[in-house]
Amino acid sequence: MIKINENKLAKFKLQGSIMPPYGFGWEICYDGINRIVPGVGGINLNFKVGDLANKLISDHLEPAVSSTMEPGLERGKNYSTKNTGYNVYSCIGNEAVIISGKAKNKKGIVTGHHGGCQHVIIDFDHKTLDALTYDDKIMITSHGVGLEIEEFSEVKIFSLAPSLFKKMNVKKVKNKLEIPVAATVPAAVMGSGLGSNQPYHGDYDIQTSDKKANKLHGLDKLRLGDIVAIIDHDSTQGWSYCQGAVSIGVIIHGDSYLAGHGPGCQTIMTSKLGQIAPKISPSANIGKYLKIGSYRK
């Protein structure tokens, strides 16, 4: 059995608000076409964990609910101390509860945090989404910051709830951690976010502008919530190329038309020394593990 330090982790409350959609206007896309499409923010009714990342005509679309500590801050300026804490301490798999309005007491699950705009993304069932307004408040129970695996101190973990880790079917095989993943992603296609030294703070994008590479590596089949392995990438102090390293991430937002962008991948684990052994499994999706998004019954 894989032992983790769950009993040493702090558990505390984070309160946020729902972020309205941003209006970008025209975007100059990698194919030379100008587009006006839905983007980040909002209460999204038909985009959920389990859906194809390229399902809808959109750009960086966030599934279900986009939230923040201070919704009045502009995009790119959402770096206040309060909002950074809300963003950094929210872990994938944490419970979220609506604490106001018609949907009061309804529960959801954190599914990612989005860099740049600093949003925390939360899944709720469809009835709850229908009842929500942009005046409603959300309380997240943070649990997971500081998570470690006792026998694998070199493997670093970011923003992952212990409750989700225990559902991921991680095994010890020949002194490595065998982790089921839906796909492997080559270092060459990683894009926006490279060089950032804050893997616990957001995500970085898988470039999808090369259609041949998409089909070759199955990037056109990526789904929200998929757990993927990024080969030859280290996230220990930041996102960078490193031969032999492996990073594990979760697809947290939709595809993009912008150069250097694509589905967002939030890092949850990394090994600079290659102590992670990815194992392809079609079931490696947080939606299936947590029974959320399109996998709800």
| Residue 183 scores a pLDDT above 60 | yes
Token pair 């959402």 in the structure block, residue: 78
Is 6-143 a CATH 2.40.10.170 domain?
yes
The ranges assigned to domains in the chain are: 6-143, 156-295
Q: At 35, is the pLDDT very low, low, confident or very high (cuts 50, 70, 90)? A: very high
Superfamily of domain 156-295: tm1086 (SG structure) domain (2.102.30.10)
pLDDT above 60 (res 137) = yes
Residue 74 pLDDT greater than 90, yes or no: no
pLDDT digits (tens, 9 = 90+) for 210-257: 999 999 999 999 999 999 999 999 999 999 999 999 999 999 999 999
Output the pTM of the full model: 0.96
Q: What percent of the chain has pLDDT over 90?
A: 87
Give pLDDT tens digits for 194-206.
988 888 888 999 9
- Lookup result for tokens 């999808």: 208
Q: Which two tokens stand for residue 217?
A: 């590596």
Q: Work out the pLDDT band at 75, boundaries 50, 70, 90.
A: low
Q: What is the pLDDT of residues 150-178, one digit of tens each?
A: 999 999 999 999 999 999 999 999 999 99
